[in-house]
Amino acid sequence: MNQIIHSAIYLGGNPNKEYIVEHLPNGGLVKDIYDLRNLKGAIYSNIALNAFIDEELRHEKYEINSGYNRALATLSSGQQKKALLMHLLSKNPDYIIVDNVFDNLDTASQNALADSLTKIAAHTIIIQILNRERDLLPFINGIYTIENNNLVPYKNEAHKVHPFIGNIPEPFLHYQAEQNPLIQFNSVSVSYNEVPVLNNINWKINNGEFWQLIGPNGSGKSTILSLINGDNPKAYGQNLILFGRRKGSGETVWDIKKKIGYFNSAMMQQFDRLDSAENMIVAGFLDSIGLYEQPTDRQWTITHQWLQLLNLYNERKKHFRNFSMAQQRLILIARAMVKHPPLLILDEPTAGLDDASAELFTALVNKIAEESTTAILYVSHRPEKGLAAKLIFELTPAANGSIGNVF
């Protein structure tokens, strides 16, 4: 039996990644390695997963049996990815394209998934798309990159992250400091369908603190975030203080959200308009997608200061969708920070970024933490080189729901 060839394609910050992944089955890029045109394939990616979740939400079409008797959207990232892989394997594909396979997964889930893919590789072609060198699967035979629309052998070259010059811009208005603590959990417990998720959580976040929230898949990190940003009805009846008010004491979800800057990698799909970079940022003052009222001169000035800090001022008229993935994320962080909100939540913000871009993003987050009074809550499964979070809140799963500890 001929040895099965498994290949990896390192895309780095290639802005055409989605196009490349979708068109790999056509065989053009990998024609010198495989002829995929007459083979049955599957794509294992966040893009594919989000499509199934969208079908569930829009049409109540439950094509994937997760095994948890719950909708995909309510599962942890690890549970979702496991369910997707089992679904794809049930179709008996000849090859699987796996895209940034370890994003949003904790160490144990990464190891389990790598073991599963190693077994699958004995009989199925694996083509890995990756942005982080550390994610290379152990059975890969060759690693390539794309130059001038051609596949060429990948060379590991050192990269240099250029520092941000100057300070972050001043806020539009100097708000009165929020009362400490900004956020306070007092013996908060949450269950879904009588299954405990959080157990007796006690935690507070003060002005200007830089926190990292960690814990394995399914430990309740997403539940914690939904309680803070006002999206989770489980917050009612809890002893939960949000920006000086107990949840359920008459505040609206909008009252909460206007005090939070929020970013996660899934947000990238929401911004599909052809707005310019400067319009994307200045609209942060107005909390809108698109400009429906005229910003003030001062708001434009601050917007341009952010663009100068990001080294993007000369490209301020360029359409947002035409920037690299890393540049898009820097723009969205500037959009979230133009009003210097009391709290900035970053949920797996480096998922999908290449190594150099992740370092650049981390440098900006550290700069915001150092030069502003905004508290930062950084949620991740994997450590990022150089991240300067001073405090860690760790969720540890237990039989009665995850417990929390401060480090």
Return the domain boundaries, the chain: 7-153, 183-406
Note whether 34 and 125 are within 8 A (CB): yes
pLDDT given at position 175 = 55
Structure tokens at 215: 């814990």
Alpha-carbon gap, residue 323 to 383, rounded angstroms: 26
pLDDT given at position 201 = 97
CA 187 centroid distance within chain: 28
Note whether 124 and 93 are within 8 A (CB): yes
pTM score, whole prediction: 0.86
Note whether 47 and 103 are within 8 A (CB): no
Note whether 260 and 377 are within 8 A (CB): no
pLDDT given at position 174 = 60
The domain defined by 7-153 folds into: Rossmann fold (3.40.50)
- Is residue 402's pLDDT more than 70? yes
Of the two residues 29 and 167, the one the predictor is more confident about is 167
Structure tokens at 315: 């490209």
- Is residue 356's pLDDT more than 80? yes
Per DSSP bridges, beta strands 183-192 and 240-242 are antiparallel
Note whether 333 and 164 are within 8 A (CB): no
- Is residue 1's pLDDT more than 50? no
Compute and round to an integer the Cα radius of gyration of the chain: 22
In SS3 terms, 231-246 reads as: CCHHHCCCCEEECCEE
Number of C-alpha atoms within 13 angstroms, CB side, residue 365?
Answer: 34
Alpha-carbon gap, residue 33 to 95, rounded angstroms: 13
Query: How does the average pLDDT of the chain come out, rounded?
Result: 87
Q: What is the mean pLDDT of residues 269-296?
A: 81
7-153 matches 183-406 in fold: yes
Among 236, 319, 54, CA closest to 327: 319
- Reported CATH class of domain 183-406: alpha beta
DSSP three-state, residue 147: strand
Give the DSSP letter of residue 40: -
pLDDT given at position 104 = 80
The 10s digit of each residue's pLDDT in 182-233 is: 999 999 999 988 889 999 999 999 999 999 999 988 899 989 999 999 888 8
In the block, residue with structure tokens 């002005």: 207
From 22-36, 252-266, 370-384, the region with the lowest mean pLDDT: 22-36
CB atoms within 10 A of CB 243: 18
Of the two residues 131 and 270, the one the predictor is more confident about is 131
- Is residue 254's pLDDT more than 50? yes
The 10s digit of each residue's pLDDT in 74-131 is: 777 777 888 888 899 889 999 999 988 888 888 888 888 899 899 999 999 999 998 8
